Structure 1
Amino acid sequence: MAVPREAVWERDPHTAAKHDLLKRYLEAWAPILLSRHEVITYAEGFAGAGIYKGGEPGSPVIAYDVFAGALDRFPKHMRMILMEKDQRRVQELERQIAGAQARHAGGITGRLTCDIHQGDFHPALLRELQSTGALGNPLFVLLDSFGGPDIPYSLLQELGRLPGTEVMVTFEPSFLTRFAEKHDGHRKSGDDAFGSSDWQAVFQQLPQQKFPFLREQYRDTLHRAGFSHTLYFEMVDEGSRKLYLIFGTRHERGLEKMKDAMWKVDTSYGVRYRDPKDTQQQTLELEFEPDTAPLRRILHDFIATSPSGRTVPELQRYALLETVYRPAQVIALVRQMRDDGTLTAEPRTINGKARVTIAAAHAPAKPTASQDALW
């Protein structure tokens, strides 16, 4: 998305879906951490004006309302740190946050502080997190930029080394694939974002492989920065425009909660998901119980990479860490594949001890050794 010139702009379907996802995740995140910690922090690097032309709330206001509701139940404290470069947007954001504070009058405002800062998000955001003591305590950082290589690896590295930090990053690879090959400055920005120049091999990829290649390169970037678990999902709107959302954490429970939120996003936004692991790249409607045909293909290929097969817990963890699907969906699907003769299971009862293999009639002609393994 091009950087808007207006202080307040129209909300597009991608943004609407992202905000719905953010709201649902924070509704799970805040109570879990407030039940265990005295102070938790939420930060944004590209906060915007807090409102869109149609009157829809921006992410800072959405987050404030969620946190105020959570603090009604917990006598704890929360801190919000919001960075925005455009002074016009800062002024509007201050008005919108003031409105949110008025809606939640009483004891909440004293326990929910909101610091708004005008300027480039980096390195100012990191300095603010350091000065407030947020680093080392539970912290969620939203880096929802307008696309392009905006987030320096050095910032991700500072955040990723801390076990209590989670990030959600907007990643739109089209800028690099379109403009960076013949522009030294753009390539340098790409190097800064990825933490190396390895991503530049994208220029030797086939056109249909460029986006997946950059996606995997960025996944490696987050892993090197310290986020041992990442959740990638590709959002596709009605105009077939693609956008990657990348969630980074050290906690598997965080992945589970993010997936729960993901499948509850409002269908009216016209955005669908696509699992990067699905070889047929089928788009998935936003339904709480989605079409599991892609997961069936993904599990079949994963099982086929091991001559001895896979255990059910392995398949569940693979679904959690490597796909957009939830572990709870695995057992029913494996039972279905067993019953139709695609898999053999020992013991036949599908439980935590069962090991499944591809039935001889459904085995690939050659082992697909190129499939990714668990990390």
Structure 2
Amino acid sequence: MAYQTPKLKAVSKAKHRILEKYFPAWARILGSRHEKLAYVDCFAGSGQYADGEEGSPLLILGEARKLVGNPKFRSRILAIFVEENSQAARELQSRIPTDLPDSVKAFVFHEDAHNFVPELLQALPENLPAFVFVDPYGRPLNIPLMNQLLQRPKTEIFLTLMWYAINMHLSNPKTEETITRMFGDKEWKQQPFMSQSCWDRETGFVDSFLGRLNAGFKLKFRIRFSPEDKVPGGDDRTKYYLVHLSNHAKAALLMKEVMYPLGDELGTFDYSATAQQRLFSETPTTEDLIQRLRENFAGQKVTFDELREKTWDWPFIEKHYREAVKTLEGKWEVRIERIESKKIGLKGKDRITFGGGS
């Protein structure tokens, strides 16, 4: 089948912005402690969209080039691009820059990711930090295989979960084998979401799917249809989810910082590429955070890092926590023992004692 280069739609640009912001930040942190880092794209495409925009492989290589151009960055970057379609793989290979720095190596493999990744796991050292881009449905990398990846201590997964396509196929006998391959077994057929509808079905499926992945931190970013998709009611319907999977709180907090400003509204983690005016803002406020802290931490003592890690799934980022805690300090509701910061600052090891409690 001939490969048709896809058009880059507005909602897909959010995925690129996340990659462009998270990958270099991730690489700088891990690169300070490791000589080599790996980026693996399991559905790489041809590297270019129909209108000439760069695809994620070229964006990542551009970020890698900038990273190694900084003399303070000492790590080497291994970029592995897996593409099942032979034409797309050839086109991607032709677009890999020939003048990459010696410390950036890029390899294109014309392979099925489901068959190739187990071989790759055998070849890569277990402690090698790796960031793996996965689509478990369109180009299957199933749950058991993703769990093998997540068993590796420094591997993270960035997952595209194509809810709209999956939902159309859940009750179709012709696609049952594909769904079973994605899950790794037939237990999905007995799950409650199969008899549910609308939002209950969607949230039930997503919770069930993510619940089977062995990651301690699962951060979701919802992508809705945009007007250019021309789907009836699309601006309120989910196209897919981007999910960051890791077993390290600091990785989840870093990804949250990246995702926070990219939704239709700050802190909603929900994007449709529309600029609709809402009567009431859905952006969580610092006052919301203050109230949550009062309710959940009364009488407790935690460091600033521990506070953020314990509440990693709350829709707030570091600056909000700092503002909230310092506001509470000004109201004599918390006491801060400054271990790491100076007189009025607030950093990771500083100890916060909340008032109240029994």
Establish whether TM, by shorter chain, passes 0.5. Answer: yes
Residue in structure 2 matched with residue 78 of structure 1 by the alignment = 77
Answering whether residue 19 of structure 2 is matched by residue 22 of structure 1, we say yes
Equivalent AA in structure 1 for residue 183 of structure 2: F
Answering whether residue 174 of structure 2 is matched by residue 175 of structure 1, we say no
CA separation of 1:217 and 1:298: change in aligned 2, threshold 3 A:
farther
Residue in structure 1 matched with residue 353 of structure 2 by the alignment = 353
Which digits, 9 at most, give the CA deviation of each residue in 1:145-202, with x for residues without a partner? 6x5583311211210111110110001223333322241x534433443355247321
User: Unmatched 5+ residue regions in structure 1?
Assistant: 340-344, 358-375
Query: Is the CA contact (8 Å cut-off) linking 1:229 and 1:249 kept in structure 2?
Result: yes
Question: What CA distance in whole angstroms lies between the structure 2 residues aligned with 1:192 and 1:248?
Answer: 20
CA separation of 1:331 and 1:28: change in aligned 2, threshold 3 A:
closer
Residue in structure 2 matched with residue 202 of structure 1 by the alignment = 193
Query: Is the CA contact (8 Å cut-off) linking 1:49 and 1:90 kept in structure 2?
Result: yes
Query: Is the CA contact (8 Å cut-off) linking 1:229 and 1:252 kept in structure 2?
Result: yes
Query: Is the CA contact (8 Å cut-off) linking 1:148 and 1:174 kept in structure 2?
Result: no
Residue in structure 2 matched with residue 213 of structure 1 by the alignment = 204
Which digits, 9 at most, give the CA deviation of each residue in 1:49-104, with x for residues without a partner? 0011121111111111111221223343221111101111111101111xx333x4
Query: Is the CA contact (8 Å cut-off) linking 2:140 and 2:182 kept in structure 1?
Result: yes
Residue in structure 1 matched with residue 127 of structure 2 by the alignment = 136
Work out the number of aligned pairs and report it.
Answer: 322
Answering whether residue 214 of structure 2 is matched by residue 233 of structure 1, we say no
TM-score, normalised with respect to structure 2: 0.76
Residue in structure 2 matched with residue 368 of structure 1 by the alignment = none
Answering whether residue 146 of structure 2 is matched by residue 161 of structure 1, we say no
Residue in structure 2 matched with residue 372 of structure 1 by the alignment = none
Residue in structure 2 matched with residue 250 of structure 1 by the alignment = 247
Shift of 1:323: 3.5
CA separation of 1:198 and 1:85: change in aligned 2, threshold 3 A:
closer
CA separation of 1:134 and 1:115: change in aligned 2, threshold 3 A:
farther
Equivalent AA in structure 1 for residue 148 of structure 2: E
Percent identity for Structure 1 against Structure 2: 21
The structure 2 residue matched to 1:262, chosen from 249, 259, 264, is 259
Answering whether residue 121 of structure 2 is matched by residue 122 of structure 1, we say no
Shift of 1:208: 2.0
What CA RMSD, in Å, does the superposition of the two structures yield over aligned residues? Answer: 3.7
Query: Is the CA contact (8 Å cut-off) linking 1:137 and 1:164 kept in structure 2?
Result: yes
Question: What CA distance in whole angstroms lies between the structure 1 residues aligned with 2:325 and 2:150?
Answer: 35
Answering whether residue 99 of structure 2 is matched by residue 88 of structure 1, we say no
